[in-house]
Each structure stands twice: as C-alpha cells, then as structure tokens.
Amino acid sequence: MEQMEQMEQTRTEKATFGAGCFWGVEAAFRQLPGVVSTQVGYAGGTLENPTYRDVCSDHTGHAEVVEVTYDPARVAYDDLLRVFWENHDPTQVNRQGPDVGTQYRTVIFYHSPEQQAVANASKVELESAHKYRRPIATQIVPAGPFYRAEEYHQQYLEKRGLSTCHI
C-alpha cells in the first residue's frame, strides 16, 4: 500500500531530444538519476507510424529521438539539457559524425511553454559562451506525435553490453 501511494505521488514529465543516432543518446539519458524511463523513436515528420526503413529514406521528415520520462522532483529539465548538449555536436546540420541525413538533426521537442523557455535560454547561454566555432544548429520546436521505434532499437547498446556508439 505504501509503495502504491509513493508511486501515485511521483509526478513525471516527458522531454524529447534528437541528437544523432538514438542508441547513444538513449544510453546517456539512462545514466541520469531521476530519469524514470526512456524510449527511442521518431518525431517531427509527416508519415504516421513510420518504420526505421521509412525514416532512413530521408523522405518522412522524422528525426531519430529519445523520449525521456523523468521525475522533476529528482532531476531538473536543465540537467536533461546539459546531457543533451554534452553528448553531441549541436553545430552539425543534418548529421552527427558519420551519420548523415535529416533524421540525425539536432532538435529539442518541447512539451510545454516552460520547456520552450528553458531550452531557448540554454541555447542562448551556450552560444554566448562561444564554445563552438560554428553556430548552433539545434532546432527548438513543439513536440508532436512520437512514434516508438522497433523493439530491437530500444536500449540497443545496453542489450549488447556497450556504453557508447563511438569507436
């Protein structure tokens, strides 16, 4: 009974990020205390229920994304943004490393006006720090439908005992 009451008191929120191949991005978010769950999928496109093959065609407009369910009492949205910024190159347009295509774009899909404001402020702060030689290309756009990727993509690295995609 006590555990049930505790679960009912836990309020979660969603955050959605695209930062290249979703395998490594998901693994980075799963390490953060306060993250309740993650799932990889597709967002920002025009085709309903796209498959990985559809998205890789570069004709659907979807980005590979990670949907993060988190407990805001344990982890702030700012902390999620820090993980996002630190785990990819936000200056690359439609690519991350060897992965090329619009599905690999850098994008923050916000779920509330508060998330939008915090995301915009963090981008401005990063730009003001002049950490990068090129402008930050990250899009900050409203969240639309999220389509869960095929099961074999979920926790891909974890299932294989890997921690990163990088060679």
Give the tokens for residue 32. Answer: 């953060």
- Our measurement of the distance from residue 40's CA atom to the centroid of its chain's CA atoms, rounded to an integer in Å, reads 8
Give the tokens for residue 152. Answer: 């074999």
Of the residues 21, 28, 43, 63, only one is catalytic, namely 21
Active site residue 21: yes
Taking each continuous run of H as one helix and of E as one strand, the counts in the chain are: 6, 8
- Alpha-carbon separation of residue 154 from 34, 38, 93, 114 (angstroms): 19, 8, 25, 28
Q: Read off the amino acid at residue 12.
A: T
* Catalytic residue IDs: 21
